[in-house]
A = this chain, B = another copy of it.
Amino acid sequence: MGAITKVRARAQDAQVGLPLDRILMDDCIDAMKGLPDKCIDMIFADPPYNLQLGGELFRPDGSHVDAVTDDWDKFDTFAAYDRFTRGWLAEARRILKDDGTIWVIGSYHNIFRVGTAVQDAGFWILNDVVWVKANPMPNFKGTRFTNAHETLIWASTGEKAKYTFNYRAMKTLNDELQMRSDWALPICGGPERLKNADGHKAHPTQKPEALLYRVLLAATRPGDVVLDPFFGTGTTGAVARRLGRRFIGIEREHAYVEVAKERIAAALPLDESALTIMQSAKSAPKVAFGLLVETGYLAPGAVLTDAKRRWSAIVRADGSLQTGDQTGSIHKLGAVLQGAPSCNGWTFWHHEEAGELKPIDSLRQTYLLATQP
């Protein structure tokens, strides 16, 4: 069993007793109260925001407000929504692991209140991400801008908290450019959109699987436990299963639960080779520069230069470099010579190979290829 596998296995011991890959049919706060502290790796939440739509007024819990008998106004409505939001966020924070993150999606109706509550709950916002819809519903009355995006908030458990971000995988996914905070993805339609027997859409705000795909690929690792407290028709569960993550869904409506169960059962898990993603150099086995000298990949006395031959240095037997009376590690000397705060010596220093300057990092690659099984 390799080292990484061991770490994962140990992490999964903590999963014993959790209702993994199941849907809890319950109020989201009540259901979260049944989960232990710090047991979840990531939360994806798509909370309701049906405040004042179509002349009808609904409470955040979905119950109908009778305007005749209920004493309400805008303030009451916002205050009630805030109480609801702060309630479920407090539970979310309790069950989230220290190195976990939370995602919340919303529109201008609710996202500002949610974002404020996220910050007030002690979460630390990492990014806001806009889902730019390729094909949004037009504004029929021509009274405003076409509402063509939704906003996601991504937050860690605190300013100093660790978190998972698969930087390299995101960069690969985006054609070798850093993934940005604006994601252009189509809305959920066509065969992906779940329908009831009567042909009507099964859920009013079903999210596209591509959105969850990117969220899960960016911020979780295989085997991680993802909780969705507003599970709906189970997009989070379907994508989690496909990507080899575990899920816990919470959904109050029986009809949605049934649709979600069927849908997730049909989702095909990818096999492990397809799940492998590009890794950052950070996780590659480390090779000290001195090792290359010891093993003869580079001889003591060899001359290194930067790419433009502005500086040169001599390799010493202990793996340090020397320029004049300056000495130090490949990183330290590179930084000192450039007057920079830091320097990656592996890419800064070059050696001549077949009449060509090559970064010493290529020697490290050669070494790794020759010695790795």
Residues of A at the B interface (CB closer than 8 Å) are 52, 56, 58, 60, 62, 74-75, 78, 107-109, 111-116, 118-120, 122, 125-130, 132, 134-136, 138-139, 142-149, 151, 153-154, 159, 165-167, 169-176, 178-182, 184-186, 192, 208-210, 213-214, 217-218, 243, 270-271, 273-278, 280, 285-286, 288-291, 293-296, 299-301, 314-320, 322, 327, 329, 331-332, 335, 338, 340-344, 370-373
List 28 contacting pairs A-B, 8 Å CB cutoff, sorted by A: A107-B128, A108-B125, A108-B128, A109-B125, A111-B115, A112-B118, A116-B116, A127-B144, A127-B147, A138-B178, A145-B180, A145-B218, A170-B318, A172-B290, A173-B290, A175-B286, A176-B331, A184-B285, A185-B291, A185-B295, A186-B370, A210-B291, A210-B294, A274-B301, A274-B316, A274-B317, A275-B316, A278-B320
Q: How far is the CA of A271 from the CA of B317 in the complex (A)?
A: 10
Contact of A275 among B60, B116, B130, B300 (CB under 8 A): B300
A154: chain B residues at CB < 8 Å are 145
A136 touches B180 (CB 8 A): yes
Q: How far is the CA of A151 from the CA of B182 in the complex (A)?
A: 11
B217 touches A317 (CB 8 A): yes
Contact of A314 among B146, B171, B274, B294 (CB under 8 A): B274
Expressed in whole angstroms, the minimum distance between the Cβ of A98 and any Cβ of chain B is: 17
A56: chain B residues at CB < 8 Å are 341
Q: What is the copy number of this chain in the assembly? A: 2
Closest 9 CB pairs of A and B: A112-B115, A62-B340, A173-B290, A148-B180, A169-B318, A274-B301, A274-B300, A108-B128, A175-B288
A125: chain B residues at CB < 8 Å are 108-109
Expressed in whole angstroms, the minimum distance between the Cβ of A343 and any Cβ of chain B is: 7
Contact of A132 among B132, B153, B165, B286 (CB under 8 A): B132
A270: chain B residues at CB < 8 Å are 299-301, 317
| Extra pairs beyond A62-B335, A146-B179 (9, CB < 8 Å) | A74-B122, A127-B144, A138-B178, A143-B167, A145-B218, A175-B286, A185-B291, A186-B371, A277-B316
A173: chain B residues at CB < 8 Å are 288, 290-291, 293-294, 318-319
Tell me which of A143, A170, A181 has the highest count of chain B C-beta atoms within 10 A of its own C-beta. A181
Q: A271 and B301 in contact (CB under 8 A), knowing A108-B153, A169-B318, A289-B175?
A: yes
